[in-house]
Structures are given as C-alpha cells and as structure tokens.
C-alpha cells in the first residue's frame, strides 16, 4: 500500500488544464493496425496555479469534455500531474470520469480548452499506456501476442521481426501478473479477470511515461488484485511515470493514490489527505 497511516480527507475544488490530438496508444483499433503491417494538518482549501511549460508533466487548462458542445460532462477544469504521481478519480457513473480519461488519451477531442502531454499537444507513440474498461484486446490472438504488442508500442525503432528485447519484456510482464501458464492461450478462452491481467501486462511491457487506467482492477479476486496493484504502483515509482486511474472504490482509491479527485457537478474536486492525529 502507498500509506502506512489512516487518512481523513478534506475536499478542495481546484481549476483544472487539456490535450488535443490522438496519440498512438493501444486501443483495439490501433492494435489491429499494428497486426496489419500497432497527500498532519487541518483541512485546507487551495486554488492551484497551473504551469503549462514543464515537459515532464501532464496538464490541462480550462478543459471541457463531453460528446456534445452543449452537454459538457466536465467544464472549465484545470490540472497538472507530475512525474511519479498516482492520481485517482472517483465519482458517480456517467459523470465524465471515463470521458476525461479518453480525452487525455487522445481518443476524444476536448470541447474547449487544451491538454498538454509532456509539453506537447499530442503524445508520442509508446508514451501513453491505456487500459480501457473494455480492455482493447485481440480476442483471437494469444496472451503472448497481445502483450507483445505493448512491448512493441514502447519500442518503435524496429517493428518486425520482434526483437529479443521485446520478447524479454513480454515474458517478464506476463510472469508479473501470474499468467505464464496461459502464454499461448487465446484471449477468448480466458476469464474476465484473466483478460484484465493481460491488459495490465500489455501496459507494463510497453513501459509508458503515462498510464491511463479505467477500473483496471475490476473482476480480480482480492489476492490477485493486491498483487497486480502492487506491480503497477512499483512500476510508476521506479520509472517516475504518471498514472491517472478511474476507481469507483473510494477506499481502494485512497490506498493507491498520491492525489484523489472526485467528479461532481461538472467539476473536478481534489480531496486533500490529513493524518488523524494533529501535532500540537
């Protein structure tokens, strides 16, 4: 777990920042393209000033997201996420959490405002690892082949034949989620929880600078959930990456995240942690 003490949380609304064109990330469609030739203190309230100049950060400014310009799900939000941070977004269904994630991923254009991914409006191929709710796996292909696509997305200097480095990354990632015995098994023959572990392994093999994960721990039993969660958290710490995750389980979100946000009333509200005991 990321914290050894119990936290209480106080809500703080902040303005949020955005990002524009679609990066080359792993979705079902881009994978098929690849196959074809892919935070004791007391409660406090703060308005944060956002810098859009740091090319190590993921930021948005006056960002509005949604599917129709007159029906924004989140409106005029601004934010800055820094290397090594794990950001969790909590909130009711249909409030715009997934839509924000998809906008950061470049799968949706913002309705207003702008996003920057490491100083650019477009994430470079391999920089973003995306784990969508529907996973984006190739159902007829094996576990090995799906995870290999992640390794290749992070190493674009050579595409074919698969390099020995990519093969090592693939095997290591599969082992890390406990699926070595399913190496050659087609995705369609796996359980929902096993398929989710494959999607996590694909992202770990990719070694991205930014991980976007939408309910990525769903369908996992408690033992597997803890093991997979720790693998991902270790990767973020060791590689100084950024992780933004949508998580409906509030307790789990507080355990995982350095920063916790809730989506409500078309805004993104940051919830600041404080220790239960206050030093006098």
The number of folded domains in the chain is: 1
- State percent of the chain over pLDDT 90: 37
23-27, 158-162, 163-167, 201-205: least confidently modelled range: 23-27
Is the pLDDT confidence value at 11 over 80? no
On whether residue 186 sits in a domain, the answer given is yes
Closest C-alpha among 94, 18, 92 to residue 61? 18
- Average pLDDT on 191-197 reads 90
- Look up the CATH number of the domain holding residue 94: 3.40.50.300
pLDDT tens, position by position, 210-265:
999 999 888 888 888 888 888 899 999 999 999 999 998 888 888 889 999 999 88
On whether residue 56 sits in a domain, the answer given is yes
pLDDT band at 21 (very low <50, low <70, confident <90, very high): very low
pLDDT band at 71 (very low <50, low <70, confident <90, very high): confident
User: How far apart (Å, rounded) are the C-alpha atoms in residues 195 and 215?
Assistant: 13
- Average pLDDT on 121-129 reads 70
User: How far apart (Å, rounded) are the C-alpha atoms in residues 115 and 50?
Assistant: 12
What single DSSP character describes residue 259? Answer: E
Closest C-alpha among 41, 32, 77, 9 to residue 265? 77
pLDDT number for residue 26: 40
On whether residue 1 sits in a domain, the answer given is no
Half-sphere exposure of 242 (CA within 13 A, CB side): 19
User: How far apart (Å, rounded) are the C-alpha atoms in residues 222 and 225?
Assistant: 5
On whether residue 3 sits in a domain, the answer given is no
pLDDT band at 49 (very low <50, low <70, confident <90, very high): very low
On whether residue 2 sits in a domain, the answer given is no
- Could you tell me where the beta strands, DSSP code E, fall in 82-234? 86-91, 112-117, 128-131, 210-214
On whether residue 142 sits in a domain, the answer given is yes
On whether residue 49 sits in a domain, the answer given is yes
On whether residue 139 sits in a domain, the answer given is yes
Range of the domain at 179: 10-275
């Amino acid at each position: 777990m990321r914290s050894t003490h119990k936290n209480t949380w106080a809500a703080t609304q902040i303005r949020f920042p955005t990002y524009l064109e679609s990066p080359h990330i792993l979705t079902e469609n881009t994978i098929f393209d690849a196959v074809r030739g892919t935070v004791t203190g007391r409660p406090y309230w703060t308005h944060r000033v956002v810098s859009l100049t740091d090319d190590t950060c993921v930021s948005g400014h006056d960002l509005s997201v949604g599917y129709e310009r007159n029906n924004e799900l989140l409106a005029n939000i601004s934010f800055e996420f820094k290397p090594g941070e794990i950001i969790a977004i909590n909130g009711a269904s249909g409030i715009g959490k997934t839509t924000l994630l998809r906008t950061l991923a470049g799968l949706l254009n913002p309705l207003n405002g702008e996003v920057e991914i490491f100083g650019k409006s477009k994430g470079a191929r391999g920089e973003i690892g995306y784990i969508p709710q529907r996973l984006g796996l190739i159902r007829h292909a094996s576990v090995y082949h799906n995870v290999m696509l992640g390794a290749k997305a992070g190493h674009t200097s050579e595409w074919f034949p698969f390099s020995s480095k990519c093969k090592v990354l693939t095997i290591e990632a599969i082992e890390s989620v406990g699926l070595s015995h399913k190496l050659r098994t087609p995705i369609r023959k796996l359980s929902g929880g096993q398929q989710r572990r494959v999607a996590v392994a694909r992202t770990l093999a990719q070694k991205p600078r930014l991980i976007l994960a939408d309910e990525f721990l769903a369908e996992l039993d408690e033992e597997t959930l803890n093991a997979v969660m720790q693998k991902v958290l270790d990767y973020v710490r060791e590689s100084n990456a950024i992780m933004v995750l949508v998580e409906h389980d509030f307790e789990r979100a507080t355990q995982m995240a350095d920063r916790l946000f809730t989506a409500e009333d078309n805004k993104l509200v940051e919830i600041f942690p404080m220790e239960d005991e206050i030093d006098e």
